[in-house]
Amino acid sequence: MKFFLDTANIDEIREAAETGLIDGVTTNPSLVAKEKRPFEDIVKEICQIVKGPTSAEVIATDYKAMMPEAEKLAKISEHVVIKVPLTRDGLRACKTLREQKIPVNVTLCFSANQALLAAKAGATYISPFIGRLDDIGQEGMALISEIADLYASQGFSTQILAASIRHTEHIRQAALLGAQVATMPYKVFEQLYHHPLTDSGLQRFLADWKKTQA
């Protein structure tokens, strides 16, 4: 499974990238707004830090406005992936962008039928929002499973990018169900390292070693 960081915070991205475990980055208008910096400047800097897919989302909601915005973002770096919403116009833009060999991440997916449409439009990635489904009492992981089965049965190459991840269990389950990518907040990435037995075991080893040096 590839690990993407879901943030627009340069400090978080730089620190996570130093581990060598981050394969890409996803951003969205809400994350960018927190940084109070020009969007294109942020995307450019991210691409310089992480030499992997960086999802940059269009703000326009209609096809004619999406296309010039997407094409401008794609020129920032070869690593830019255009992020479009799962709407009629978004999928139309996805189809056109893929014909231009520009990678596309179709976001805000909440059903297998939507995922099917995105794959038919040629999406590079489909982003099912598992946490938001959990929030309303539905099973986010059930959607990951359905999409994985659907894509396998139909031979689609679109990668499942598990999004709206709230905790490490989401990552484990998504990996087991066949999602190729998980995008996560920095704090969740940090939590992956930890287990109470690892922490206590290390402290014991260090304490025992200290005794041998007495």
Side chain identity, residue 147: I
The letter for the amino acid at 95 is K
> 168 CB contacts (<8 Å, ≥6 apart)?
188, 191, 192
What is the residue extent of each domain of the chain? 2-212
| Mean pLDDT, residues 118-143 taken together | 97
Q: What is the Cα–Cα distance from 66 to 154, expressed in whole angstroms?
A: 29
Between CA 201 and CA 178 the distance in angstroms is 32
> pTM, whole model, 2 decimals?
0.92
The whole-angstrom separation of Cα 5 and Cα 50 is: 10
* pLDDT at res. 214: 66
Flag whether pLDDT at 204 surpasses 90.
no
CATH class of 2-212: alpha beta
What digits encode the pLDDT tens for the residues 95-125?
Answer: 999 999 999 999 999 999 999 999 999 999 9
Q: Among this protein's residues, is 210 annotated catalytic?
A: no
What average pLDDT score do residues 62-89 get?
97
pLDDT score at 83 = 98
Q: Is the pLDDT of residue 199 over 90?
A: no
Joined together, the tokens standing for residue 208 give 């025992």
Residues with Cβ < 8 Å from 63, sequence gap 6 or more?
89, 92, 93
> Are the C-beta atoms of residues 50 and 12 closer than 8 Å to each other?
no
Q: For 168-186, what is each residue's pLDDT tens digit?
A: 999 999 999 999 999 999 9
Burial class (CB in 10 A: 0-12, 13-18, 19+), 32: buried
Residues 199 and 46: their CA atoms lie apart, in Å, by: 32
Catalytic residue among 2, 83, 101, 211: 83
Report the alpha-carbon distance of residue 169 to residue 180 in Å, rounded: 16
